[in-house]
């Protein structure tokens, strides 16, 4: 088998800095959900970039967790640590106007035998190129990072350049995945993510991230996908918000979910939602299971 530039690249940073948006821009397809809410990405998304001379596996981590208290958050933090323990390159994302947390810098400096890139994000929002240069110069002097690349995933600025730089630093190896794969996750995972995305987008700040999606039943044939999804909530009051007056909100969310899934899978989608309250579910291992 022909050898290509192959390696694992972790995308890390504080919450809401554009990690999922970058991954989707690189793959030119929605792999990871992106909202303006903190800690949107729960699982370690593996997006696989392929071209004629490279295969790059991107790991999209949740935002660094602070003040970890419950079982759920501890599992996420463990996943973050695992995701960056055996990587070739680390991409640390931060917008140009935000200082990097000292603890995060210390964590990055402690990584050995890993190339470290600073990606200065959302540069399309800058009105003065000099401020981007000043921000980058600070870290060039400190030599924390091997490379510093200003980018805008939304405007696709320097995303191609980032790929080329990654290729320079990755070793030659045989591809580890089929070349037509863009991710290693199952269909059920993406369905759960789409449902969660629509809930977070449509309910704004009325519903926090204290919800969990489980696919309890799924049937598929050549023409349609029928599925039953359970929405697990932490509070009784959230149930009424999600259902809405006369069921209008949950019907609206269902429409958005069906639209995205039918577009992705080119099949008729039939969904049944079950909404259940499980107080303090983040500390109930039997509920969290593999769904964190």
196 vs 259, more confident: 259
Express each pLDDT in 128-170 by its tens digit. Answer: 888 888 888 888 877 789 999 999 988 989 999 999 999 999 9
CA distance 281 to 227: 23
Query: Is 231 exposed, middle or buried, given 0-12, 13-18 or 19+ CB atoms closer than 10 A?
Result: buried
Inter-CA distances, 140 with 96, 111, 149, Å? 14, 18, 11
Helical spans, DSSP H, in 84-212: 102-109, 129-142, 159-169, 187-203
Count of positions (residues) in the chain: 292
Which residues, in sequence order, are CB contacts of 160 under 8 Å at separation 6+? none
Instruction: Please report the domains of the chain, with CATH numbers, ordered by start residue.
Output: 4-173 (3.40.50.300), 187-288 (3.30.300.20)
For 107, phi then psi, to 5°, come to -60, -40
CA distance 11 to 65: 15
Give yes or no for a contact between 47 and 182, defined as CB atoms under 8 angstroms apart.
yes
CA distance 216 to 226: 11
* pTM for the structure as a whole: 0.63
Q: What is the pLDDT of residue 179?
A: 73
| Per-chain mean pLDDT for the chain | 81
What is residue 6's DSSP assignment? E
Express each pLDDT in 82-114 by its tens digit. Answer: 666 678 999 999 998 888 888 888 888 888 889
């Amino acid at each position: 088998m022909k050898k290509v530039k192959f390696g694992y690249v972790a995308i890390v940073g504080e919450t809401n800095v554009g990690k999922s948006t970058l991954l989707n821009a690189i793959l030119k397809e929605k792999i990871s959900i992106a909202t303006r809410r903190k800690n949107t990405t729960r699982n370690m998304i593996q997006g696989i970039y392929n071209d004629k001379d490279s295969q790059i596996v991107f790991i999209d981590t949740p935002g660094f967790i602070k003040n970890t208290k419950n079982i759920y958050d501890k599992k996420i933090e463990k996943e973050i640590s695992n995701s960056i323990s055996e990587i070739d390159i680390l991409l640390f994302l931060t917008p140009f106007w935000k200082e990097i947390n000292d603890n995060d810098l210390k964590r990055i400096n402690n990584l050995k035998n890993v190339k470290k890139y600073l990606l200065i994000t959302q540069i399309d929002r800058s009105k003065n190129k000099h401020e981007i240069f000043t921000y980058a110069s600070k870290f060039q002097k400190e030599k924390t990072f091997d490379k510093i690349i200003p980018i805008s995933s939304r405007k696709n600025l320097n995303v191609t350049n980032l790929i080329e730089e990654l290729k320079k630093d990755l070793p030659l190896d045989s591809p580890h995945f089929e070349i037509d794969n863009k991710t290693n996750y199952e269909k059920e995972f993406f369905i759960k993510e789409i449902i969660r995305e629509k809930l977070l987008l449509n309910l704004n700040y009325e519903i926090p991230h204290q919800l969990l999606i489980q696919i309890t039943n799924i049937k598929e044939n050549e023409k349609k996908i029928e599925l039953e999804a359970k929405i697990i909530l932490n509070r009784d009051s959230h149930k009424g918000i999600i259902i809405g007056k006369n069921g209008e909100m949950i019907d609206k969310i269902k429409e958005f979910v069906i639209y995205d899934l039918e577009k992705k899978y080119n099949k008729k989608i039939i969904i049944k939602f079950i909404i259940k309250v499980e107080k303090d579910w983040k500390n109930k291992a039997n509920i969290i299971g593999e769904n964190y």
